[in-house]
Amino acid sequence: MKTMGPKHMLLFGLVGILFIGTGFVQSWNTALTIFNMGLISAIMALGVNMQWGYAGLFNVGVMGFVALGGLAAVLVSMPPVNEAWAAGGLQVLLGLVLGAATIVGAILVWSKMPPGRLRGLAITVILVAGFFIFRAVFDAGVDAVESVDPALTGYLGGLGLPVVLAWPVGGLLAAGAAWIIGKTALGLRSDYLAIATLGIAEIVIAVLKNEDWLARGVKNVTGLPRPVPYEIDLQANENFLALAQNVGSDPVTASTITVKLAYAALFIVVLLALIWLSEKALNSPWGRMMRAIRDNEISASAMGKNVKARHLQIFILGSAVCGLAGAMMTTLDGQLVPGTYQPLRFTFLIWVMVIVGGSGNNWGAVLGGFLIWWLWIQVEPIGLFLMQTITAGMAEDSGLREHLLDSAAHMRLLTMGLILLLVLRFSPRGLIPER
Amino acid sequence: MDFLNAIVALANFVIIPATAYGAQLALGALGVTLIYGILRFSNFAHGDTMAFGAMVTILVTWMLQGAGVSLGPLPTALLALPIGIAATGLLLIGTDRVVYRFYRAQKAKPVIYVIASLGVMFILNGIVRFIIGVDDQRFADGERFIISARNFREMTGLDEGLAFRTSQGLTIVVAIIAVALLFWFLNRTRTGKSMRAFSDNEDLALLSGINPERVVLYTWLIVAALATTAGVLYGLDKSFKPFTYFQLLLPIFASAIVGGLGNPLGAILGGFVIAFSEISVTYAFRKVVGYLAPEGWEPAGLLQLLSTDYKFAVSFGILLIVLLFRPTGIMKGKSI
């Protein structure tokens, strides 16, 4: 690839050494765990890089799109809960359709009727009446669904399809949400998009936490089907045991590592496909147009480019990539836990990856994804080690010593902030700058 | 009598809490809007600045409480507040020197400042968690109620009680004083006028000999005072938890935008609009309607429009409506 010079290969080599070093010093299992999440982080960084690097759009709602991808994994792969569907599944769907119809009706009245008091009155009546009808139908359905064996299910379940299908579906869900946000907030000032995306992310998480009928809320959905074999099955397999014996490793370690390698292979295929597509896009006339719009919106629109439509397009594409990565992450975890979605981890950390790696450069975003994810994991043990060294001379029962040791976990936030500020100041184009 | 009871219930559960919350949001939004008007960027570190100020105040309060100092019926935190403001002021001026001044000299795009403020947010977040931890901290002391529900019932003979907590009364009084001081400063003093001039037209202000660094310095000091006050009042009223302060960012930004970014009066109005809608949409009106409805017609449901978990959705919904129909906010703000 012509975007990669020898210097950049060297940088990738150095990050590779970090992972290999982790394998030797800690364990290969740890190294692979970090590597797999690094692959997913790289995909998220690619998505944010499309929005920020190509088009200069400031999206701080990455967490929301990632969580939508996670929801897709549940909705596609879990088996349907037939009793719940019988109890009130259709009623819940009917309620949602009624709610959507209310909003569509209000929008139609807004655009078709002449402005005036009558229009305002009509819209108010539609919205208020629609809301109460929606709540009446929807709430009854939700109650019925959630009372079906709440300790085990209490939700509608999914479609029972292979989990890999959830990945593109996650992208579609995220794209839908991005379309709604983009329609309202794009074309206004850049800060407004930031606040709007921040808001939608919080709302997506609130919905995931509270709508038990959808994905069990804070009761979590666990035991998602896997695209790769289970460790237990591998350990029972004669051929596998023989193979492990040949390599000279015990079956348990061999099986966990094999499973992680299988995941890694799947993720690498997706990542390579995405890099190939985005490199093609970035170097096509379309990519040049995007960068032209980013660098000077006024002159680009004077050249006849539809700035708002292009922004909407790239915003939806980038968000879809984040949703795809979110679905992959939930697949890897094997569970959807809405409580773990934290904006600092899922939105702002991805931003650090993009800025550090090099905004506008796909390889840079990927490098940033691997490097920052590795740091995020490793800063904690390093911090703890540092604190132990500092406090080594203190008395065993010293309150300060205890406090410092307990607080070592918060070192990662400090470190990430510091890295972001330093890179932004002294190397604003990142490790692998845009060409 | 039932009508009176309904009003008391409404005041107790909606009007008083929303007024206090609105005052806290307004103080926060004033800080955001000042930074936007003068430094021209959306400061994502604002929630964590509030947390930092509140944290320093809490630490000083604990020291004072340990030394046996108290303000009688008022919370000791009021005594510690000036120290919290001073510490936050130093911190903000420090971050300006180390981080933002460089980009000012470069005339960087606003979005670069926003990304820098993300870095500052991470660091402040880390510092606060490092020093005080992630858990809930309570530091309110003194008299808990100005009027307690039982006293109110005995006084008036009504069925419904009305509780007016000290923290709520204090929030309203302190917010009024802070806003009065701010507007006096902006409209009457020379520095305040130069700040407004700088916000209206930077080039013209520079031409007339206004020193931009001085304007920026005063802005950060005022923002420190507003943010710390807002943080401490919120902490007294609810409780102090670093993550909640980070989450306040959304309603605070919504308030500032709804009112019109860069417009101080708008920020106050926006704060109350957001607070009242948030609380009235998530409050279960069953009790109020129950008093008003004729005998035997009491509602069966809770009459709650949205569950309280969706309070962020309310600020967001209002924000979307304003963005769609009036992008510069209720009172005309800037648009760059």
Judged by CB atoms closer than 8 Å, whether chains meet at A412 and B126 is answered as: yes
DSSP state of A113: S
Which residues in chain A have Cβ-Cβ distances shorter than 8 Å to B127? 414
Cβ contacts of A56 on chain B, cutoff 8 Å: 111
CB contacts of A414 in chain B (<8 Å) are 122-123, 126-127, 130
A69 and A110, same domain (yes or no): no
Cα B15 versus chain centre, distance: 17
Contact B205, B198 (CB under 8 A): yes
Q: How confident is the model at residue B222 (pLDDT cuts 50, 70, 90)?
A: very high
Q: Does position A2 have pLDDT exceeding 70, yes or no?
A: no
A191 vs B114: CB contact, 8 Å cut-off? yes
Residue B331 lies in a domain: no
* Tens-place pLDDT, residues A84-119: 999 888 999 999 999 999 999 999 999 988 888 899
pLDDT at residue A323 in the model: 97
What local confidence, expressed as pLDDT, does residue B1 receive?
A: 55
Interchain CB contact of B130 with A (< 8 Å):
yes
Shortest Cα distance, chain B CAs vs residue A196, angstroms: 7
Of A190, A196, A417, the CB nearest to B120: A417
**Phi and psi torsions of A420, nearest 5°:** -60, -50
Verify that A235 and A291 share a domain, yes or no.
yes
| B334 belongs to a structural domain | no
For the segment B112-125, the average pLDDT, to the nearest whole number, is 92
Question: Which domain covers residue B27, as residue numbers?
Answer: 2-325
Write out residues 298-327 of B within 8 Å (CB-CB) of A: 305, 307, 309-310, 312-313, 315-316, 319-320, 323-324, 327
Task: Residue A405: name the closest of A388, A422, A393 by CA.
Answer: A388
A156, A186, A214: which is the final residue of a domain? A156
A194/B contact by beta carbon, under 8 A: yes
Q: Is B57 inside a domain boundary?
A: yes
**Confidence tier at A195 by pLDDT (50, 70, 90):** confident
Share of chain B above pLDDT 70, in %: 97
Average pLDDT over residues B39-61: 94
Considering the domain architecture, whether residues A369 and A280 belong to the same structural domain is answered as yes
Q: Residues A399-406: what's their mean pLDDT? A: 78
Chain A residues in contact with B45 by the CB 8 A cut-off are none
Are the C-beta atoms of residues A357 and A368 closer than 8 Å to each other? yes
Mean pLDDT of chain A: 91
The residue to which tokens 């964590």 are assigned: B48
Cα distance from A231 to chain B (closest Cα, Å)?
Answer: 37
Q: How far is B6 from chain A (nearest CA, A)?
A: 23
The b/e string for B252-269 (b: 16+ C-beta within 10 A; e otherwise) is bbbbbbbbbbbbbebbbb
B274 vs A: CB within 8 A: no
Last residue of a domain, one of A156, A190, A211: A156
CB A64 within 8 A of CB A206: no
- Touching check for B62 and chain A: CB below 8 Å? no
Interface list for B 194-213 with A (CB within 8 A): none
Q: Is residue A435 part of a domain?
A: no
Confidence of residue A169 (pLDDT cuts 50, 70, 90): very high
A168 with A237, same domain: the answer is yes
Single-letter amino acid, residue A78: M
DSSP B87-122: HHHHHHHHHIIIIIHHHHHHT--HHHHHHHHHHHHH
B119 vs A421: CB contact, 8 Å cut-off?
yes
The answer to the question of residue B268 being in a domain is yes
Contacts of residue A200 in chain B, CB cutoff 8 Å? 316
- Chain B residues inside the 8 Å CB shell of A203: 310, 312-313, 316
Same-domain status, A43 and A138: no
Residues A211 and A308 in one domain: yes
Determine contact, residues B234/B24, Cβ cutoff 8 Å.
yes
Q: A144 vs chain B: nearest CA distance in angstroms?
A: 16
Helix (H) or strand (E) holding A335: strand A335-336
Report the CATH number at residue B39.
Answer: 1.10.3470
Considering chain B, what percentage of its residues have pLDDT values greater than 90? 53
**Is A434 inside any structural domain?**
no
Q: Does A348 touch chain B (CB under 8 A)?
A: yes
ipTM for this model: 0.89
> Is residue A100 included in any domain, yes or no?
yes
| DSSP state letters, B215-226 | HHHHHHHHHHHH
Whether A1 is covered by a domain: the verdict is no
Q: Based on the domain organization, do A253 and A284 belong to the same domain?
A: yes
Are A88 and A54 in the same domain? no
pLDDT-based confidence at residue A1 (cuts at 50, 70, 90) = very low
Asked, for residue B176, whether it belongs to a domain, the answer is yes
**B93/B100 Cα distance (integer angstroms):** 10
Contacts of B7 (CB under 8 A, 6+ apart): none
Q: Are residues A401 and A254 in the same domain?
A: yes
My answer on whether A237 and A355 are in the same domain is: yes
Asked if A362 and A275 count as a contact pair (C-beta separation under 8 A), the reply is yes
Expressed as residue numbers, the domain containing A388 is: 6-80+157-426
In the listed set A156, A175, A198, which residue is the last one of a domain according to the structure? A156
* Residue A432 within a domain: no
**The tokens of A237 are what?**
């397999």
Say if CB A350 and CB A48 are below 8 A apart: yes
User: Which residue pairs, CB below 8 angstroms and at least 24 apart, start in A293-301?
Assistant: A293/A55, A294/A54, A294/A55, A294/A56
- Kindly report which listed range (A161-165, A252-256, B310-314) carries the lowest average pLDDT score: B310-314
Same domain, A216 and A90: no
Enumerate the residues of chain B whose CB falls inside 8 A of the CB of residue A206: 309-310, 312-313
Tell me if B86 sits within 8 A of B179, measured CB to CB. Answer: no
Does residue A399 surpass a pLDDT of 80?
no
Does residue A137 lie within any of the structural domains?
Answer: yes
| Any domain includes A433 | no
pLDDT given at position A421: 95
Segment A170-194 shows an average pLDDT of 87
- My answer on whether A40 and A91 are in the same domain is no
Interface of B with A in 110-129 (CB under 8 A): 110-112, 114-116, 118-127, 129
Taking only Cα atoms into account, the Rg of chain A, rounded to an integer number of angstroms, comes to: 25
Asked whether residue B123 carries a pLDDT value surpassing 50, the answer given is yes
* Nearest beta carbon to residue B126 from set A131, A189, A417: A417
* Residue among A192, A195, A413 minimizing CB distance to B126: A413
* Interface residue A429 vs chain B (CB under 8 A): no
Does residue B154 have a pLDDT over 90? no
In the predicted model, what is the mean pLDDT of chain B? 89
pLDDT band at B290 (very low <50, low <70, confident <90, very high): confident
Residue A396 above 90 pLDDT?
no
Instruction: State how many domains chain B has.
Output: 1
The number of folded domains in chain A is: 2
Test B254 with A406 for CB contact under 8 angstroms. Answer: no
Within-domain flag for B142: yes
For A192-215, what is the mean pLDDT? 89
pLDDT at B294: 76
User: The domain spanning residue A189 has which CATH number?
Assistant: 1.10.3470
Q: Residue B42 and residue A194: Cβ atoms within 8 Å?
A: yes
Q: Establish if B333 belongs to a structural domain.
A: no
CB contact at 8 A, B103 and B112: yes
Is residue B91 predicted with pLDDT exceeding 70? Answer: yes
